[in-house]
């Protein structure tokens, strides 16, 4: 007489909490929890695979998740906007998967609560939210495949956030827009960047934006690129009427 052996997976209290909380976010139960655990390991932990010696952190999963997210969004846009040409579809996809939007998604899901790191959470830059969101998608793909990634992205990204009409009017880069306007109007534009750590633990950069030699805006952020974008956004709103009319 045969018998069926029931295999019981024993998890610690912390692992059980992680499993249950993650299941609520995903909308399904993970099969291989180790993929998801790796999705929240920061490189500062400095863990390595005992067999291969490869680092164990979320960066490779982030790369994978980024590619899958881009593919799912591209397919969605291809079907819902049949009149859109390649340039339009590319621009719309960029707006949906922008770093700002991915960071918002990661924050909304409170993914940072799961991260394992030797870096104090307050010292992380904003992009960590989007990075681990992409890593999570990579983990879903390894655990469940493309179809589950598609369902998750539809539930967490497309359904609540993708509104074609709103996205068409969304500005993704104030810096690019302001530079384009200056070139059109033949106005000289200069960004003057300098390090400005102040009393902050994390390094900051400040930017002065000059138009035709006149200081018109300032910006401050944790990277030169972000600081320039902040300054450009302020300059855009200062000259919005002229930019809109022209």
Question: Which are the catalytic amino acids?
Answer: 66, 134
Q: Which of 166, 107, 162 lies closest to 132, judged by CA? A: 107
Question: How deeply is 153 buried, as exposed, middle or buried, from its count of CB atoms within 10 A (0-12, 13-18, 19+)?
Answer: buried
Label residue 4 exposed, middle or buried (CB < 10 Å: 0-12, 13-18, 19+).
exposed
Task: Quote the Cα angle for 173-179-181, to 5°.
Answer: 105
Q: Characterize 94-109 residue by residue with b for buried, 16 or more Cβ atoms within 10 angstroms of its Cβ, and e for exposed.
A: ebbbeeebbbbbbeeb
| DSSP structural state of residue 172 | S
Beta-bridged to residue 191, according to DSSP, are 209
Contact 97, 70 (CB under 8 A): yes
Query: Which residue is it, tokens 């719309």?
Result: 92
């Amino acid at each position: 007489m045969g018998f069926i052996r029931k295999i019981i997976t024993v998890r610690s209290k912390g692992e059980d909490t992680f499993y249950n909380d993650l299941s609520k976010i995903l909308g399904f139960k993970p099969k291989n929890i180790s993929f998801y655990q790796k999705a929240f390991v920061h490189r500062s932990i400095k863990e390595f695979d005992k067999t291969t010696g490869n680092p164990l952190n979320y960066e490779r999963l982030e790369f994978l998740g980024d590619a899958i997210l881009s593919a799912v969004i591209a397919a969605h846009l291809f079907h819902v906007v049949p009149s859109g040409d390649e340039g339009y579809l590319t621009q719309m996809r960029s707006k949906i998967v922008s770093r700002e939007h991915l960071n918002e998604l990661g924050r909304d899901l409170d993914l940072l609560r799961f991260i394992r790191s030797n870096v104090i959470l307050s010292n992380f830059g904003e992009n960590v939210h989007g990075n681990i969101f992409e890593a999570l998608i990579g983990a879903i793909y390894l655990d469940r495949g493309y179809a589950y990634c598609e369902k998750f992205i539809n539930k967490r990204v497309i359904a609540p956030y993708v509104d074609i009409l709103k996205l068409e009017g969304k500005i993704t880069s104030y810096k690019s827009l302001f530079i384009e306007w200056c070139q059109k109007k033949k106005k000289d534009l200069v960004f003057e960047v300098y390090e400005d750590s102040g009393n902050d633990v994390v390094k900051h950069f400040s930017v002065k934006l000059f138009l035709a030699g006149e200081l018109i805006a300032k910006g401050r952020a944790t990277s030169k690129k972000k600081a320039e974008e902040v300054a450009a956004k302020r300059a855009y709103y200062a000259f919005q009427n002229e930019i809109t009319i022209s």
